[in-house]
Amino acid sequence: MTIPDVARHAGVGQATAARVLGGYGSASAATRERVLAAAAELGYSTNAVARSMISGRTDTLGVVVADVENAYFARAVRGIADVAAKAGLQAILANSDEDSEKEKAAVQLFIERRVDGLVVAPAATDDAHLARAVAAGIPVVLLDRVVTGAALDTVVVDNRGAVKAAVTRFTEAGHTRIAVITSAMPGDDGTRLAPGADIWTTTERVAGYRQALRAAGIPRSAELIRHTGYERAWARSAVLELMTSPNRPTALFTTDNVATLGTLDALLDLDARIPDDVSVIGFDDAEWTTLIRPRLSVVSQPVQELGGLAADILVRRINGAAARPRRHTLNTTYIARESTGPVPARARRLRAPTSSS
């Protein structure tokens, strides 16, 4: 059922029917009614593809995140979708799994789809593919991560400052052996980032950790920085090893949800008492952080707002706003709960679980 069909059935010209059904131009009340009646009778429904063909807009937003299953991205996507929907846009989703090739392929597909805008949580460190989108007239907003050198709107939190402040709470309580557990692909030596896996967010958070130590005059120690990879079990075994090694840390900072889960798995397996044996602070508040005892102290970030702001900027750009792209930094909050305490007087012996698991 097309506009010519409806026009014929209503006994008006195509252009007239098109104006009524498309909601543009003018038409008398009488004809409008007649066209609408004919459309209803024939079960006409607009073909958005044909509309996009000529209008040049698709009313869609491309969204590239690492993984929607991850609670962080799920919340961000929700924020994006809500703001987009309010502006009459829908979101097309793509998961990159932190693989920059997948990201590039997704962006290319979105360009071909002629999406009106693009939100990307970049895994890639170069921006050639994003520049191509911009060159094609598609505004791009970066989410969660900065790509250095890219002239793009970016929505992030002050990761470095947030972590520095959190770790400083450890140093002020007297902790000197403070470890950081982070999910990023481990390199050959198990402590460095693999090439291409240097996610900005992680880098910044580890930098914040380093700054806090430096400010407190604590020498850095490589074995206290653990890049474990994006698997809860890997974080667990890293912490298991760390906490049973001589001269173990008295405080742990985890930079993301997966690392936090694995770390707590390990601590539970070791029967470590928090915060008596070890203090813990995590990044990102999750629904379960108040469900465990002691409750977990965390750095919380406004994830949904982050997504909403990204979509908002995009909508503005789509509507023609031409301001110079800039970085938008939202505030994090430190939520003090019960997982931090003073340095233990002496290290209680922890033993790894005998039953393998």
Partner DNA sequence: GGCAGAATTGATAACGTTACCAACGCGGTC
Partner DNA sequence: GACCGCGTTGGTAACGTTATCAATTCTGCC
Residue 143 is encoded by which pair of tokens? 């989410």
The reply on whether position 274 binds a copy of itself by CB under 8 A is no
Q: How many residues bind DNA (CB under 7 A)?
A: 27
CB of 244 to a copy of itself, least distance (A): 20
Residue-wise DSSP of 209-266: HHHHHHHTTPPP-GGGEEE--S-HHHHHHHHHHHHHSTT--SEEEE-SHHHHHHHHHH
Burial of residue 220 (number of CB atoms within 10 Å: 0-12, 13-18, 19+): exposed
Region binding a copy of itself by CB under 8 A among candidate stretches 23-31, 32-40, 82-90, 344-352: 82-90
The answer to whether 336 contacts a copy of itself (rule: CB under 8 A) is no
134: contact with a copy of itself by CB under 8 A: no
Which of 295, 316 has the CB closer to a copy of itself?
295
Q: What residues contact residue 132 under an 8 Å CB cut-off, 6+ apart?
A: 107, 108, 111
Instruction: Output the smallest distance, CB 319 to DNA, in A.
Output: 15
Sign of dihedral through CA atoms 97, 101, 104, 105?
negative
Closest distance to a copy of itself from the beta carbon of 111 (Å): 6
Biggest distance spanned by C-alpha atoms of the chain: 92
Contacts for 215-220: CB closer than 8 Å, 24+ residues apart: 215/164, 215/168, 215/171, 216/168, 216/171, 216/172, 216/176, 218/171, 218/176, 218/178
Residue 77 interacts, among a copy of itself, DNA, none and using kind-specific CB cut-offs from 5 to 8 Å, with a copy of itself
Q: Does 4 bind a copy of itself (CB under 8 A)?
A: no
**How many positions of this chain bind a copy of itself (CB under 8 A)?**
50
Q: Which of 36, 42, 87, 109 binds a copy of itself (CB under 8 A)?
A: 109
Q: Is 313 exposed, middle or buried (0-12, 13-18, 19+ CB in 10 A)?
A: buried
Site for a copy of itself contains 290 (CB under 8 A): yes
| Residue 184 to residue 103: CA distance in whole angstroms | 17
Residue 203 near residue 148 (C-beta atoms within 8 A): no
30 part of the interface to DNA, by CB under 7 A: yes
Query: What residue has token string 């609670």?
Result: 71
CB 255 within 8 A of CB 164: no
Helix (H, G, I), strand (E, B) or coil at 203: helix
Bridge-based pairing state of the strands 297-300 and 60-65: unpaired
Judged by beta carbon, residue 109 or residue 347, the one nearer a copy of itself is 109
| Residue 337 contact among DNA, a copy of itself, none, beta carbon within 5 to 8 Å by kind | none
Q: Which of 37, 40, 55, 137 binds DNA (CB under 7 A)?
A: 55
Among 32, 164, 210, 232, binds a copy of itself (CB under 8 A): 232
Q: What is the separation of C-alpha 246 from the centre of its chain, rounded to a whole number of angstroms?
A: 37
Q: Does 137 bind DNA (CB under 7 A)?
A: no
Is residue 95 near a copy of itself by the rule CB under 8 A? Answer: yes
- Tell me how far, at minimum, the Cβ of 48 lies from a copy of itself, in Å: 4
Which does residue 85 bind out of a copy of itself, DNA, none, counting CB within 5 to 8 angstroms by kind?
a copy of itself
The nearer residue to a copy of itself, 218 or 315, going by C-beta atoms, is 315
22 scored as a contact of DNA (CB under 7 A): yes
The reply to whether 132 sits near DNA by the rule CB under 7 A is no
The answer to whether residue 150 forms part of the interface with a copy of itself (CB under 8 A) is no
φ/ψ (deg, to 5) at 98: 65, 20
Cα 254 to Cα 174, 197, 202, 224: the distances in Å are 19, 18, 10, 12
Contact positions vs a copy of itself (CB under 8 A): 43, 45-50, 52-53, 58, 60, 67-69, 71, 74-75, 77-78, 81-82, 85, 90-95, 108-109, 111-114, 132, 135-136, 232, 261, 264-265, 268, 286-288, 290-293, 304
Contact positions vs DNA (CB under 7 A): 2-4, 12-16, 18-19, 21-22, 24-28, 30-31, 44, 46-47, 50-51, 53-55
